[in-house]
């Protein structure tokens, strides 16, 4: 939805990692990629979560409560001809952070894959989502999720 941060005509591509520890290697890598971003509009958010996620009840669908930081890579550009370079940069940055990742926040994943979606939930929560889908949507009518993400148990 367009707003002051995303005016009409701005292209976006997002990726995300939860990071448990900000080591010198993590910070060096974030700086390296941020400095070499192909677009001056690109944003790199490193949000401090502290222990807030641990305070919520564990019975909800939200996973990875041990994460202390949220790294959100938000590529932004105007010229459609820059799409390939910006998306490629974001994917490289995302892949370079995988060794430091403790999971993903599902709303910031950008382009989805079944593997990333499943990695957004801890195993018992993922299985529970499969059970709920099998019970309440056996015909697969609710299709806002990527096909195959929550398959019938």
**Model pLDDT for residues 56-89, shown as the tens digit of each residue:** 666 665 666 677 898 999 999 999 999 999 999 9
Residue 2 lies in a domain: no
**153 Cα distance to chain centroid:** 25
Same domain flag for 112 and 136: no
Q: Which of 22-36, 62-76, 93-107, 135-149 has the lowest mean pLDDT?
A: 135-149
The whole domain housing 139 covers 122-153
Same domain flag for 145 and 132: yes
Same domain flag for 91 and 145: no
Residue 151 lies in a domain: yes
Q: For the chain, what is the domain count?
A: 2
Helices and strands (H and E) in the chain: how many: 5, 4
Q: Which residue has 């430091």 as its token pair? A: 100
3-state percent helix, strand, coil for the chain, nearest multiple of 5: 40, 20, 45
pLDDT tens by residue, 3-20: 676 777 899 999 999 898
Radius of gyration, alpha carbons of the chain: 17
């Amino acid at each position: 939805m367009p707003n002051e941060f995303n005016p009409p005509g701005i292209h976006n591509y997002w990726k995300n990692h939860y990071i448990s520890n900000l080591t010198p290697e993590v910070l060096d890598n974030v700086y390296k990629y941020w400095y070499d971003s192909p677009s001056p509009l690109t944003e790199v958010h490193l949000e401090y979560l502290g222990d807030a996620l641990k305070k919520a009840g564990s019975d909800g669908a939200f996973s990875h409560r041990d994460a202390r930081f949220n790294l959100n890579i938000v590529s932004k550009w105007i010229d459609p001809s820059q799409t390939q370079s910006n998306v490629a940069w974001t994917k490289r940055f995302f892949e370079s952070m995988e060794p430091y990742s403790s999971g993903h926040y599902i709303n910031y994943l950008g382009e989805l894959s079944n593997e990333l979606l499943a990695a957004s939930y801890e195993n018992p929560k993922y299985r529970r989502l499969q059970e709920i889908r099998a019970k309440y949507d056996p015909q697969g009518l609710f299709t806002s999720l990527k096909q195959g993400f929550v398959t019938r148990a």
